[in-house]
């Protein structure tokens, strides 16, 4: 080999090395990606509320007297626990109490009058029968007997009228007592007094028709709660009474509570500037949680429509539009874009029907810049 040829060969080797070094120095850096292993497990199909739901008491009564008047007794305060039938409020009612006494005495007088009239009617009936029997002996005339029978019938009518009048008087007693009851508020169920709007000697006025005013006493049942939450009209079609659900509350951020759908509203709620939703109510499975709840807590529900057990699954965040995923080949340090067929899915996990094998690694940060089919990648934690 001549020296000139040798120089050419050396020059070619140097150029090749420089080209290789340039490619190595300028090639794109590996894309930092987070990955998850394709595994087997449970996947649920769920729907969730679109806006925060609310913990509601099974029964809540905003109570006010149906009559206006001055507050005479107010034996409860906010936070008091009461039993069904306990007195919550009483208005000044001496005038109505007097009307009850008057009506009661009038009813007693009417009953006495009715008894007297009926006794007279019974006597007249006996007298008419006696005279009728004497006609056969020709001791009285037919005219006297007929007159006695007419008087007996008139006395019987007086008896009926007096008894009817006595019944009217008793009804007046019931009316007076009902009016008296309107001056008192009793607890319709056991619970806790949430709010009291009124003081002793203040004058309270019932709400005019169509105008809402503050209740005098707001009573909440504190041993039964449920969650009411809005679900988008698109998602609610599969929700039926009895389906299992999970409940989360901001007040207990790290806990989940089991429940079941107890009601699906019969109409769509259409609020201005908001999506159309349907209210869904979920009851708690375990009543023991009631002791920790307060009406008004914000809550979220997740209704479970379907469950697939021991199925192939990946995190939902790994799936791109068109059911595409990036699969990391760790031995080569590159990613491969692959099309998969999905099944049951929720916000967390998606069932994989075909396209992946157990143990493969899928990229859970598919929106990373520079990520493409065949791109180099390095594994990092998801929050890096």
Same domain? 172 vs 194:
no
Same domain? 134 vs 244:
no
pLDDT of residue 301: 94
Same domain? 265 vs 289:
yes
Q: What are phi and psi of 332, to 5 degrees?
A: -105, -15
Same domain? 205 vs 352:
no
Range of the domain at 344: 27-44+309-379
Residue 132 has pLDDT above 80, yes or no: no
Indicate whether 207 belongs to any domain.
yes
Same domain? 65 vs 54:
no
CATH of the domain at 64: 2.40.50.100
Same domain? 101 vs 145:
yes
Q: Which of 283, 307, 331 is the last residue of a domain?
A: 307
Residue 197 has pLDDT above 80, yes or no: yes
Contact 311, 43 (CB under 8 A): yes
Contact 376, 338 (CB under 8 A): no
State the DSSP string of 334-373. Answer: EEEEEE-EEEEE-SSEEEEEES--TT-EEES-TT-TT--T
Question: Pairing relation of β-strands 324-329 and 60-63?
Answer: unpaired
Instruction: Please tell me the total count of domains within the chain.
Output: 4
Cα angle for residues 199, 201, 207 (degrees, 5° grid): 70
Residue 112: which residues within 8 A CB-CB, separation 6 or more? Answer: none
Same domain? 281 vs 315:
no
Q: How many whole angstroms separate alpha carbon 128 and alpha carbon 122?
A: 10
CATH of the domain at 262: 2.40.30.170
Task: State the average pLDDT over residues 365-384.
Answer: 80
Indicate whether 337 belongs to any domain.
yes
Indicate whether 20 belongs to any domain.
no
Same domain? 199 vs 65:
yes
Same domain? 338 vs 372:
yes
> To the nearest whole number, what is the mean pLDDT of the chain?
86
Q: Is the pTM of this model over 0.85?
A: no
pLDDT of residue 25: 46
Same domain? 291 vs 331:
no
Higher pLDDT, 122 or 149: 122
Residue 195, beta-bridge partner list: 218
């Amino acid at each position: 080999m001549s020296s000139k040829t040798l120089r050419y060969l050396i020059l070619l080797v140097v150029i090749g090395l420089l080209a290789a070094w340039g490619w190595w120095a300028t090639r794109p850096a590996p894309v930092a990606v987070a990955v998850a292993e394709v595994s087997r497990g449970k996947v649920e199909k769920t729907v969730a509320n679109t806006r925060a739901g609310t913990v509601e008491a099974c029964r809540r009564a905003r109570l006010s007297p149906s009559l206006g008047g001055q507050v005479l007794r107010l034996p409860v305060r906010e936070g008091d626990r009461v039993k069904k039938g306990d007195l919550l409020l009483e208005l000044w009612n001496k005038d109505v109490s007097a009307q009850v006494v008057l009506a009661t005495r009038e009813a007693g007088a009417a009953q006495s009058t009715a008894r007297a009239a009926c006794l007279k009617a019974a006597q007249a009936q006996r007298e008419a029968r006696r005279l009728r029997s004497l006609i056969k002996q020709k001791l009285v005339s037919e005219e006297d007997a007929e007159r006695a029978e007419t008087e007996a019938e008139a006395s019987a009518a007086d008896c009926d009228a007096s008894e009817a009048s006595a019944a009217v008087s008793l009804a007046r007693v019931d009316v007076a007592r009902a009016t008296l009851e309107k001056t008192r508020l009793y607890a319709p169920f056991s619970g806790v007094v949430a709010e009291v709007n009124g003081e002793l000697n203040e004058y309270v006025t019932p709400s005019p028709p169509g105008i809402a005013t503050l209740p005098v006493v707001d009573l909440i049942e504190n041993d039964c709660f449920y969650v009411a939450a809005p679900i988008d009209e698109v998602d609610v079609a599969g929700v039926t009474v009895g389906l299992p659900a999970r409940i989360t509350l901001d007040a207990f951020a790290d806990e989940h509570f089991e429940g079941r759908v107890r009601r699906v509203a019969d109409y769509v709620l259409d609020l201005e500037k908001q999506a159309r939703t349907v209210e869904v109510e979920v009851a708690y499975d375990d009543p023991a949680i009631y002791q920790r709840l307060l009406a008004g807590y914000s809550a979220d529900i997740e209704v479970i429509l379907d469950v697939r057990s021991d199925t192939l699954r990946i995190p939902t965040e790994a799936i791109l539009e068109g059911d595409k995923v990036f699969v990391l080949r760790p031995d080569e340090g590159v990613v491969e874009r692959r099309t998969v067929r999905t099944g049951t899915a929720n916000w967390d996990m998606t069932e994989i029907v075909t396209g992946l094998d157990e143990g493969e690694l899928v990229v859970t940060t598919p929106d990373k810049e520079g990520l493409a089919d065949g791109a180099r990648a390095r594994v990092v934690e998801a929050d890096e």
